[in-house]
Amino acid sequence: MSEKNETNPGSSPSEKTFSPIEWRDDGLWLLDQTQLPGREVWLECDRPEVVAEAIRRLSVRGAPAIGVSAAYGLVVGLRGTPSEDLERRFEEVYELLATTRPTAVNLRWALDRGRRVFERHRGEGTEATVAALLEWAHGLHSADVETNRRMGAHGSALFHPGDRVLTHCNAGALATAGYGTAVGVITAGFDAGKVAQVWVDETRPLLQGSRLTAWELDRLGIPFRVVTDSSVGALMSREMVDRIVVGADRIAANGDTANKIGTYTVAVLAARHRVPFYVAAPTSTIDPDTATGNEIPIEVRDSDEVTRFHGVEVSPAAAEAQNFAFDVTPHELIAGIITEVGVLEPPYVDSIRDALGRAQEPTG
């Protein structure tokens, strides 16, 4: 474990971005997000089991960040494997990482691309295979940041000067390899002089909004206010929200979008109050093999996350909670999907097919 401050000094918020994933001293380090905003602790992930556990307990979280961490997890997992055992070990590590979290499709997306790299190089022995996977993982890492910046450029065009923008959960640098998806779009909008203020939903039960998005916006110098999740309707009814931008964990072929629990509630209220509701996500979050939101697997997490808070019981000891980690927003409630290849508009079946055809595959 280590503690250090990662923000780059820069003049504009866009220049101040950072990555929660680092490859340094020939090893993988992840910023432990369970300890934010109180402490900045970095976890050294020297075994794939440590990477898997970090994903499972949300030390690293957010769909793109999970994908990039898993890519490095393959490298960590294959190192030192006798060449004759590579095949078996790859399947073991793949399975270990793939089964950590079910909803974020970027996890399988990254691991399946890692498999292709593995298959191309495994005949060259362990050292060459691991070197090829590491080069590919580095490529994925920097491509994700680049993708987010493109998304920011497309998305910022949607804002009007003075906009008060609401976001849910954390879809910032912390949830990606850097810069963020929804927060990246908001950052670009702020840099363009359009976003005046951000409403940050606290995001029960694990507070990704009030702990993480607020921490990021504070570092970036973007004005914000934290609100309870249940304030969203009141804010919109008082015309205090001009636009909403959220991230995504998986987008089905018809545009239905899974994101952090509570996103659907925000979208329904946005429709009622005619506030444009946007999803910002890279094309790697689109799953063309999932036809509609009904088929998206929704992670159910421990009851304790709801009934206890920081180790303190906030419900009677006998209480059991229903803890869906995500919900699905139907495509008809989404005004546009901001991707690195442009802002997709309805009908999403067509615009998504077209976007996937135009998206660039990372090399490896």
Contacts for 218 with CB less than 8 Å, ≥ 6 apart? 224
How far, CA to CA in Å, does 204 sit from each of 130, 163, 320, 355?
A: 40, 25, 16, 33
Nearest to ligand MRU of 129, 247 (CB atom) = 247
Shortest spacing between CB 199 and ligand MRU, in angstroms: 15
Nearest 5°: phi and psi at 200? -110, 110
Nearest to ligand MRU of 14, 126 (CB atom) = 14
144 part of the active site = no
- Per CB under 6 A, the list member of 36, 43, 226, 248 interacting with ligand MRU is 248
The greatest distance separating any two alpha carbons of the chain, rounded to the nearest whole angstrom, comes to: 66
Question: Which tokens in the block code for residue 355?
Answer: 């976007």
Shortest spacing between CB 318 and ligand MRU, in angstroms: 27
Total Cβ atoms within 10 A of residue 303: 14
SS3 200: strand
Q: Which of 249, 256, 287, 327 is catalytic?
A: 249
Nearest to ligand MRU of 203, 351 (CB atom) = 203
How far, CA to CA in Å, does 292 sit from each of 110, 142, 282, 361?
A: 22, 30, 18, 24
Interface characters, 67-106, with ligand MRU (x: CB under 6 A): -------------------------------------x--
Q: Is 339 in the site for ligand MRU (CB under 6 A)?
A: no
Q: Is 141 in the site for ligand MRU (CB under 6 A)?
A: no
Is residue 93 within 8 Å of 49, Cβ to Cβ? no
Shortest spacing between CB 342 and ligand MRU, in angstroms: 18
Question: Which tokens in the block code for residue 48?
Answer: 């794939």
Q: Is 284 in the site for ligand MRU (CB under 6 A)?
A: no
> In sequence order, which ranges of 79-176 are alpha helices (DSSP H)?
86-98, 106-121, 126-156
- Per CB under 6 A, the list member of 62, 77, 209, 255 interacting with ligand MRU is 62
Catalytic residues, by residue number, are 249
Q: Which residues bind ligand MRU (CB under 6 A)?
A: 58, 61-64, 104, 169, 171, 175-176, 181, 208, 247-249, 259-260, 325
